[in-house]
Amino acid sequence: MGQAFLPLLKKAAQESLGSGLSCSKAAIVNISSIGGSIASIFGWEMMQITSYRCSKPSFPFHHHPVPVSPQAALNMLSKCQSLAYKEHGILCVALHPGWVQTDLGATARHTPPVTVDDSVQGMLKVLSSLSEKETSAFLDWEGKRRTSSMTELCVRSVLVTGANRGLGLGFVQHFLRMPKPPQWIFAGCRDPTGQRAQELKNLASKHPNIIIIPLEVADPSSIKAAAAKVGEHLGGSGLNLLINNAGIARPKSLDNETLESMSEVYTTNTIGPLLMGQAFLPLLKKAAQGSPGSELSCSKAAVINMSSYAGSIEDMYVWEFGQVVSYRCSKAALNMLSKCQSLAYKEHGILCVALHPGWVQTDMGGTGSFKPPLTVDDSVQGMLKVLSSISEKETGAFLDWEGKVIPW
Ligand SMILES: NC(=O)c1ccc[n+]([C@@H]2O[C@H](COP(=O)([O-])OP(=O)(O)OC[C@H]3O[C@@H](n4cnc5c(N)ncnc54)[C@H](OP(=O)(O)O)[C@@H]3O)[C@@H](O)[C@H]2O)c1
């Protein structure tokens, strides 16, 4: 196709103004697949589909054999085209469309997370932004590079507390959209029958890997029951990732703080994550033991405590905007807890960090007169990238959604 259409593409490039490359000028877009990434050899354990990855025209996991492009080879071809056609003003990229709800994407056990609409819309957005520096790249439908040997976050099981709205729900949505979604996404929710759980319930009705777990993190018996339930679902296997996300804030100043508000916020934001860590430790240990290698990672076993920059004693972030004393104290204490957990759980192979999600457009983030700068999507995407890259040297750290270290 490239050879045959080269004269027409060249003509389009010549007729177009400017010397920079762009898809509006002349471009070849090869729809590839992350299955063709030699660096990550993505999803190998789930299905080998060697011919799809390499070269032969058969496709064993689908009912009818379909002629498919050799994806690793297609990536190489895209690279060759980009080098050869650059002088003619033609941009060339390989694009991974995501795991999409089409005949090719469907398997007996899983509904692909990305609709045709979302995938195509994403890809068109990517195409509209490409220029010279991206020619020869292997990108996905969200514009992320796929050529590097970047380690993917790859967990079989995750539990997110406070998963019915805000950042918690965002985590669930992003886990679903991963190229290889977890087999179990345990969504902790303190009132699964309530109005505020509706969006989560709608999502769970479409995705059988979401399991809603009734979970009130301020109640030790609810935590114990949740741990037992999660253990039952997991059969003999462990829990890779515990995200202590549930949290509350009370808009109080030093003058009007009360015993009730201090206790309530501390119980939810600090004692909750402590008890969660204790109750889920056996399952986290099991995940660590079942995972090869000795290096700590979030794909193996990890506790992520959703903290806040507001808990930084050194920085006293946005003090002028809100004193929120109980919230600040609870997060400073949560940071200390994260450090304690990291020291105690390291010998079990469990990584622990405190994470600041940024100032995010959620019910909690958006209560003041300013619109927070970050969307839930941006924040969660950033945090997942951080989680995919941290290892032993970061355990016990206090990081933000971009991976920057925050002063204690
Ligand atoms: N948004 C920001 O800008 C920002 C900044 C820094 C840190 N954070 C931290 O990020 C985390 C998530 O915040 P968010 O902005 O997503 O907040 P949000 O929109 O207010 O959502 C909070 C979630 O926590 C749940 N929750 C609260 N108390 C709970 C309890 N006792 N047991 C179980 N679930 C409980 C809520 O459930 P219900 O629906 O039942 O109330 C809800 O699902 C929090 O830890 C927060 O401190 C947020």
- Which pair of structure tokens corresponds to residue 340? 């304690």
Does pLDDT of 56 surpass 90?
A: no
Distance 36 CA to ligand 1 centre (A): 39
Assign 18 a pLDDT band (cuts: 50, 70, 90): confident
Distance 251 CA to ligand 1 centre (A): 14
**Which residues does 354 contact at the CB level (< 8 Å), separation at least 6?**
305, 307, 311, 334, 335, 338, 339, 397, 398, 399
Q: Higher model confidence: residue 137 or residue 200?
A: 200
Please answer whether residues 216 and 193 qualify as being in contact, where contact means their C-beta atoms are separated by less than 8 angstroms.
Answer: no
**Cα 312 from Cα 398, distance rounded (Å):** 9
Could you tell me the residue ranges of all domains in the chain?
Answer: 2-140, 157-400
For residue 109, the SS3 value is coil
Distance 394 CA to ligand 1 centre (A): 24
CATH architecture of 2-140: 3-Layer(aba) Sandwich (3.40)
Listed in sequence order, the DSSP H helices in 270-375 are: 272-289, 325-345
| Mean pLDDT of all residues belonging to the chain | 89
Assign 71 a pLDDT band (cuts: 50, 70, 90): low
**Which residues does 262 contact at the CB level (< 8 Å), separation at least 6?**
325, 326, 329
Residue 108, pLDDT score: 60
Q: What confidence tens digit (pLDDT) does each residue in 240-273 have?
A: 999 999 999 999 999 999 999 999 999 999 999 9
- CA 202 → CA 27, 118, 198, 336, distances in Å? 40, 18, 6, 37
Which residue's CA is the nearest one to ligand 1's atom 17?
Answer: 364
361 CA closest ligand 1 atom index: 1
Q: How many CB atoms lie within 10 A of CB 231?
A: 18
Give the phi and the psi of residue 275 in degrees, each rounded to 5: -65, -35
The amino acid at 114? V
pLDDT (mean) for 101-124: 84
- What class does CATH assign to 157-400? alpha beta
Q: Count of H helices and E strands in the chain?
A: 11, 10
Which residue's CA is the nearest one to ligand 1's atom 25?
Answer: 162
Q: Are both 2-140 and 157-400 of the same fold?
A: yes
Assign 209 a pLDDT band (cuts: 50, 70, 90): very high
Q: What confidence tens digit (pLDDT) does each residue in 362-405 have?
A: 999 986 678 999 999 999 999 999 999 999 999 999 999 999 99
* Ligand 1 contacts CB of residue 213 (under 6 A): no
**For the chain, first and last CA: distance in Å?**
57
Does pLDDT of 37 surpass 90?
A: no
Q: What confidence tens digit (pLDDT) does each residue in 117-165 have?
A: 999 999 999 999 898 878 888 888 988 776 443 457 999 999 999 999 9
**Which of 48-52, 89-93, 295-299 is least confident?**
48-52
Residue 103, pLDDT score: 86
Please answer whether residues 351 and 391 qualify as being in contact, where contact means their C-beta atoms are separated by less than 8 angstroms.
Answer: yes
Residue 212, pLDDT score: 98
pLDDT (mean) for 192-206: 97
**Cα 301 from Cα 286, distance rounded (Å):** 9
Assign 64 a pLDDT band (cuts: 50, 70, 90): very low
Does pLDDT of 62 surpass 80?
A: no
Please answer whether residues 286 and 235 qualify as being in contact, where contact means their C-beta atoms are separated by less than 8 angstroms.
Answer: no
Kind and range of the H or E run holding 222: helix 220-234
